[in-house]
Amino acid sequence: MGSTYSDLKFELMTTGENDTTWGDKTNTNLTAVQEAITGSASVAFSDANVTLTLTNSSSSQTARNLRLNLTGTATAGYNLVVPAIEKQYIVNNGTDGTITVKNATGTGVAIPAGAATIVFNDGTNVVQAMNFLGSALSVAGGGTGATTASAARANLGAIGASDATTFTARQTFNGSATDVGAKLQNAVEKVTVSATAATGTINYDVLTQSVLYYTTNASGNWTLNVRGSGSTSLNTLMATGESITLVFLVTNGTTAYYQTAFQIDGSAVTPKWQNGDTPAAGNASSIDAYTVTIIKTGVGFTALAAQVRFA
């Protein structure tokens, strides 16, 4: 009766066998044992499943190694099929896709790109023996997808004290019973500077700027119409109990003009002017600043306005 082989394909010699080669075979077996305990092997993917097998040989075999380092491309997600024996693996997924380590049957363990984990093959299924490791674990896999704090915050949508960021949608900063929701230091507002002469109906889009500055001398009286934008109404943007303040700067030459009407979303609104003084004229050779605070109430809008001369 000749040699048999273990699950990990160590040669099991019978008594009295290999009398003159026993030492060489034992050394080969010990090398194979070392491979199973501390060995590392690479497994290359090329957008296809990979199957590892073991044969009756004590020579080096990829499936016997403790650590499997996955490389190559696997963008669609593929399987690494390992022999159905009891075996522990440390798997490092260095491909660009998710790799599922499994037996020919069973569900296995899906390892995201950039992650490392320990799995255990119980002979029927491959199960996870330890949570994913590695700072570059993807967000979808429960990590940050980054190796630096600032990149992690960016991936997670979090903001650090030193991070520069641009908000592209409404942000709400809630305060508490004892503190305000936001503190601004060295803040700037968007000003639209336009070489335009005020006249006719002027659309003020609050989604575009906080200040609108016409630098060419006004050529006639005007109506100021405040809206969100050409496609969005101010009424849509604001909820009851909210306010917004805007400034319209108008340049006047030697012949002065002024604002004669005020609208919100194309509908007339009568402002309440500072000190009750409704402007009846503009100021020649000056810049007139029209500041309006609009408050949305339960029945419409209240507009508080002021005209101030700068010369």
How far is Cα 286 from Cα 48, in angstroms, rounded to an integer?
74
Mean pLDDT of the chain: 89
Longest dimension (CA), the chain: 120
Confidence of residue 165 (pLDDT cuts 50, 70, 90): low
| Token pair of 120 as six digits | 């255990």
Same domain, 36 and 110: yes
Torsion of CA 151, 155, 158, 159, to 10 degrees: 40
Mean pLDDT score, 273-299: 97
Helix (DSSP H) and strand (DSSP E) numbers for the chain: 3, 21
Residue 256 belongs to a domain? yes
**Could you tell me if residue 182 is inside a domain?**
no
Which pLDDT does position 235 carry in this prediction? 97
DSSP letter for 133, please.
Answer: B
- Report the alpha-carbon distance of residue 179 to residue 209 in Å, rounded: 28
| Residue appearing with tokens 């693996």 | 89
Give the highest mean pLDDT range of 91-95, 154-158, 169-173.
91-95
Provide the domain count of the chain: 2
Is 11 part of a structural domain of the chain?
yes
Let me know if residue 82 belongs to a domain: yes
CA distance 183 to 20: 85
Residues 123 and 197 in one domain: no
Burial (0-12, 13-18, 19+ Cβ within 10 Å), 199 = middle
Strand-pair category, 116-122 with 126-128:
antiparallel
Is residue 174 domain-resident?
A: no
62 occurs within a structural domain: yes
Residue 147 CA, distance from chain mean position: 15
Partnered with residue 205 across adjacent β-strands are 227
What is the sign of the dihedral through the CA atoms of 264, 267, 268 and 270?
Answer: negative
pLDDT at 133: 57
Domain annotation covers residue 83: yes
Same domain, residue pair 197 and 295: yes
pLDDT at position 186 is 87
CA distance 224 to 29: 90
Pair 210, 94 in one domain = no
Question: 282 lies in which domain range?
Answer: 191-310
Using the structure block, give the residue that is written with the tokens 């273990």.
Answer: 6
In this predicted model, which residue has the larger pLDDT, 129 or 237?
Answer: 237
pLDDT tens, residue by residue, 21-67: 766 777 777 888 888 899 999 999 999 999 999 998 888 999 999 99
Sheet holding 200-205, edge to edge: 200-205, 222-227, 259-264, 267-268
* Domain boundary residue, one of 128, 158, 174: 128
Domain closes at, from 77, 93, 128 = 128
Per residue in 91-132, pLDDT (tens digit) is: 999 999 999 999 999 999 999 999 999 999 999 999 988 765
In sequence order, what are the residues at sequence separation of 6 or more whose Cβ sits closer than 8 angstroms to the Cβ of residue 306?
273, 274, 290, 291
Work out the angle at residue 48's Cα, subtended by the Cα atoms of residues 104 and 7, and round it to the nearest 5 degrees: 35
pLDDT above 90: residue 234:
yes
Residue at 111 is within a domain: yes
pLDDT of res. 246: 97
Helix (H, G, I), strand (E, B) or coil at 100: strand
Considering 104, 128, 152, which residue would you say is the last residue of a domain?
128
pTM, to two decimals: 0.54
